[in-house]
Amino acid sequence: MSIKDDIISMATQARQASRKLANLSSMVKNDAILSMAEALLDNLEQILEENRKDLDNAKERGLSAALVDRLALNEKRVMAMAAGLRDIAALPDPIGEIGSMCRRPNGLQIGKMRVPLGVIGIIYEARPNVTADAAGLCFKSGNAVILRGGSEAINSNKIIASTLDNAATSAGVPQGSISLIKNTDRQAVRELVKLNGLVDVIILRGGKSLIETIGTESSVPIISHGAGNCHVFVDKDAAVSMAMRIVFNAKVQRPGVCNAMESLLVHKDIAMEFLPEMIGQLKGAGVEVRGCTETRGIVPDILEATEEDWGKEYLDLILSIKVVSSLDEAIEHIHKYGSSHSEAIVTSSYANSARFLQEIDAAAVYVNASTRFTDGGEFGLGAEMGISTQKLHARGPMGLCELTTTKFIILGNGQIRE
C-alpha cells in the first residue's frame, strides 16, 4: 500500500470512529482513560526500553542536550503521563454542555451545544509524553486523533500509542480512535494535511520551518504551537530577591521548553543593583550570558548580544540581557521580538503591572511569576495539546474546551417563518 493510500485509510477509519466517539457517555470515556493510564504503568519497562533506543539514536546523531532532554523518559516521567491521564478523566466533560439559551419573541429557544471537532491530526516534536496527553485530551473531548511524532521518538511513540490504543479498545472504544503514523517519511505528513473532509484540524507543534511548510501545503485548518521567545522584565521598583528567584527559575529550571525565558529586560534604575549578582547566579548554573552594551558595562565578562539574539529561541542554557530605560521601551522590545507566547513583569507598581497586562499581546501574561507556568497541567487543564500562539480558534494552552466547537440548537413548538 502506498503512503497516500495508507494515510487515507487511517483517516477514513478515524472519521468513522469519531462519529461513535461523539456519542459515548462520560462514564465510558473516563473508564477508558483510566485504563489507558494503568496500561502505561503496566508497560513501564517496555516503554523505557524503546525510549532507550531513541536516546541511543539521538546521541549517535549528535542531537542537542535540550532535545535529548525532551526525548528522554524515566519512571517519574511515565508516572507523570499516567497521572495526566487520570487528571483528564477527573475533569468535567464539555461535550453536550448547553449555554447561552435565550427565548426569541416568537417563542423559539436558541442556544449553543458544545460538540467535538471530529478528527484531529497532531504533528509534534520529540516529546513522547505528547502522545499520551494528545490521546487522552482528544478522546475525552470526543475526537479521534491521528498522531505524527518526530522521527527521533519513533520507537517511544510506537509503544506508547499501541499501549493506549489496546487499553482503549479493550474498554469498548471504537477502532481508529487513536492512530499513529509510523512512517517517518515526510510524505506522510504532506498526505495527511491534504485530507480536508476527513481531517477537521491539524495541530502543529514544531519549529518555524515546519509551520511555514505545512501552512503552505495544508488544505486542512491549522492551529500552530509556535516558538517561545519569552521575556521577563524586571521593573525599577521590583523586589530584587523575588526578581532573582523568578529569573533563575524561568531560565534554568528546564531551559529546553517553549515557556522558558530567552531574554531578560532590566530597567536601568535597578540594573546596577540587580545584574551583577543575577548574572553570577546564572553563570554558576552554566548559563551562557549575552548582553547589550549597557549590560556589559556593568558586568564586562559576558558575551556581546547581537541583533539576532533578541529574536532567538535558544531552548538551551543561553540568555540575552538588555537594559531598558522605561516600561515603554520594554513593551516595545517585546512587541518587536517576542513570539506572543509568555511574557512576565516583576514589579511592585500596580500601574505598571496593569499596563503590562493590558498592552502586551501574548497568549499568557504574568505579573510577579515565572513564565514556566504556561502549561496545561499548571493551568488546571489536566494536560495540553500544545500552546497556541495564534488567535483563532484557540490561544494559550489547549485543553478540552479548545478541542471542541459549538452548534446552535433551536427548540420550538411549531413556529414557521412568515
Q: What is the pLDDT of residues 309-346, one digit of tens each?
A: 999 999 999 999 999 999 999 999 999 999 999 999 99
The answer to whether the CB of 290 falls within 8 A of the CB of 319 is: yes
Task: Work out the average pLDDT over 249-265.
Answer: 95
- pLDDT for the residue 154: 97
- For the domain made up of 230-373, give the CATH fold: Aldehyde Dehydrogenase; Chain A, domain 2 (3.40.309)
Q: In the CATH scheme, what architecture does the domain 3-226+389-411 have?
A: 3-Layer(aba) Sandwich (3.40)
- 3-226+389-411 and 230-373, same CATH topology: no
| Closest to 75 (Cα-Cα) out of 102, 40, 23, 35 | 40
Strands, E assignment, 9-140:
98-103, 109-116, 119-123
Lowest mean pLDDT among 153-157, 183-187, 329-333: 183-187
pLDDT higher than threshold 80 for residue 206: no
| Closest to 269 (Cα-Cα) out of 323, 350, 333 | 323
Domain boundaries, the chain: 3-226+389-411, 230-373
Helix segments in 285-406, DSSP class H: 293-298, 307-310, 327-337, 350-359
The answer to whether the CB of 274 falls within 8 A of the CB of 235 is: no
Note the pTM of the prediction, 2 decimals. 0.89
- pLDDT for the residue 35: 98
State the cell numbers at 415. 413556529
399 C-beta neighbours (distance < 10 Å), count = 25
- pLDDT for the residue 127: 87
Task: Work out the average pLDDT over 8-32.
Answer: 97
Q: Which amino acid is at 73?
A: L
Q: What is the pLDDT of residues 213-255, one digit of tens each?
A: 888 889 999 998 778 999 999 999 999 999 999 999 999 999 9
